[in-house]
Amino acid sequence: MAKMNMLHAINSALDITMAEHPNACIFGEDVGYFGGVFRATSGLQEKYGKHRVFNTPLTEQGILGFANGLAAFGAPALAEIQFADYIFPAFDQIVNESAKFRYRSGNEFNVGNLTIRTPYGGGIAGGLYHSQSPEAYFAHTPGLKLVVPRNPYQAKGLLRASIKDDNPVIFFEPKRLYRASTGEVPEEDYSIELGKAEIVQEGTDVTVLAWGAQMEIIEDAAKKAAEQGISCEVIDLRTILPWDVETIAKSVTKTGRLVVSHEAPITNGFGAEIVATIQQECFLHLESPIARVCGLDTPYPLALEKEYVPDSLKVLAAIKQSVEF
């Protein structure tokens, strides 16, 4: 065990992968000698060579096109998109190519070796174009897996699992927590199974669900609720696609209430999918309408970021409303 922040943990997962596969390559904008704008790939070029850890030209569609080809060849392709806000030029390569590679070829070819890492989310005064949470766009695409870690331990284990998984995975990294979140992380290799949510805190009155950076917010809200005598069951979804319906449904069957929270705009956010499925699975057990605490339906703001975000006060209000319904 060692004390690591999330960047160290991600770096460690990448390091293990590079040592394991002689063909694995890490590439993206500024990931080479500089080690990435957040320094997640620090030191890896020196260790594995310029031919395996390299800067690409500034072309997201090119990075993903290249990554699809490299993965189809059979090499672990570890692509970085510098900010999730800039992933859209690569949308076609991800949605029409990565996601459909296996299906359209009848499994003659696949890009299971592809892992896309990209920092997402707000809280760094990044405004419209350094704050977005675009997971829902990709959640509408069969063939992809989407993973979001909440802390360094989770980040390393989930990233290793994403890399080893034989499907293309988008790994969304909560950039607000890159350095802010620290914890004990094993130096050796380990994986955390994809597609499994984790009950972070057991409770009886209401289930509160989130993922990634939003976990810190709902845990804070749950603590405040506890002070007011409300027992929250706090769950980290961890994998958005495919998501763990069973764990959530079981929890809501027990508590009878659900609050879902994400930073992305509420309309058609992934919370909508969760709500639709859980009302179907748990209809007769529900004691109150399922609540969503999300971003407003606006582009991500700058000066009014504090007002925009689904903070712990807003989550707490929803928890109380749900319990008092």
Q: Which is nearer to other proteins, 232 or 252 (CB)?
A: 252
Q: Is 26 among the residues that bind other proteins (CB under 8 A)?
A: no
Q: Coil, strand or helix: which one is 304?
A: coil
Interface segment toward other proteins; rule CB under 8 A; list 33-41, 43-51, 214-222, 285-293: 43-51
* Catalytic residue of the set 130, 219, 233, 262: 130
CB of 159 to other proteins, least distance (A): 19
Q: Which is nearer to other proteins, 50 or 179 (CB)?
A: 50
Q: Is 42 within 8 Å of 30 (Cβ atoms)?
A: no
List the one residue from 20, 46, 184, 246 that touches other proteins (CB under 8 A).
246
- In sequence order, which residues have a C-beta less than 8 Å from that of residue 57 and are 6 or more positions away? none
Interface segment toward other proteins; rule CB under 8 A; list 142-150, 200-208, 216-224, 251-259: 142-150
Q: Is 68 among the residues that bind other proteins (CB under 8 A)?
A: yes
Q: Coil, strand or helix: which one is 28?
A: strand
- Identify residue 198 by its one-letter amino acid code: E
Q: Coil, strand or helix: which one is 117?
A: strand
* Catalytic residue of the set 60, 80, 135, 219: 60
Q: Is 32 among the residues that bind other proteins (CB under 8 A)?
A: no
Q: Is 89 among the residues that bind other proteins (CB under 8 A)?
A: yes
Q: Is 93 among the residues that bind other proteins (CB under 8 A)?
A: yes
List the one residue from 33, 37, 69, 183 that touches other proteins (CB under 8 A).
69
Q: Is 34 among the residues that bind other proteins (CB under 8 A)?
A: no
Asked about 130 being catalytic, the answer comes back as yes
Q: Is 145 among the residues that bind other proteins (CB under 8 A)?
A: yes
- In sequence order, which residues have a C-beta less than 8 Å from that of residue 93 and are 6 or more positions away? 61, 64, 65, 67, 68
Helix-strand-coil percent breakdown of the chain, rounded to 5? 40, 20, 40
Q: Which is nearer to other proteins, 115 or 312 (CB)?
A: 115
Q: Is 142 among the residues that bind other proteins (CB under 8 A)?
A: yes
- DSSP E strands in 125-255: the ranges are 145-147, 169-174, 182-185, 198-201, 206-210, 232-236, 239-241
Angle at 53 between CA 47 and CA 58, to 5 degrees: 150
- In sequence order, which residues have a C-beta less than 8 Å from that of residue 98 and are 6 or more positions away? 64, 67, 68, 71, 111, 114, 143, 144, 168
Asked about 287 being catalytic, the answer comes back as no
Distance CA 7, CA 304 (A): 28
Within 13 A of 323's CA, how many CA atoms are on the CB side? 21
Q: Is 67 among the residues that bind other proteins (CB under 8 A)?
A: yes
Q: Which is nearer to other proteins, 164 or 320 (CB)?
A: 164
Angle at 94 between CA 6 and CA 272, to 5 degrees: 75
Q: Is 103 among the residues that bind other proteins (CB under 8 A)?
A: yes
CB atoms within 10 A of CB 61: 15
Q: Is 14 within 8 Å of 76 (Cβ atoms)?
A: no
Considering only residues 111 to 140 of the shown chain, the ones binding other proteins according to CB under 8 A are 112
Q: Which is nearer to other proteins, 183 or 242 (CB)?
A: 242
Interface segment toward other proteins; rule CB under 8 A; list 45-53, 127-135, 177-185, 256-264: 45-53
Q: How many residues does the chain have?
A: 325
Compute how many residues bind other proteins; rule: CB under 8 A: 52
Q: Is 204 among the residues that bind other proteins (CB under 8 A)?
A: no
Active-site annotation, residues: 60, 130
Site residues for other proteins per CB under 8 A = 22-23, 25, 48-52, 54, 56-57, 59, 61-62, 64-75, 77, 89, 92-93, 96-97, 100, 102-110, 112, 142-143, 145, 166-167, 195, 242, 245-246
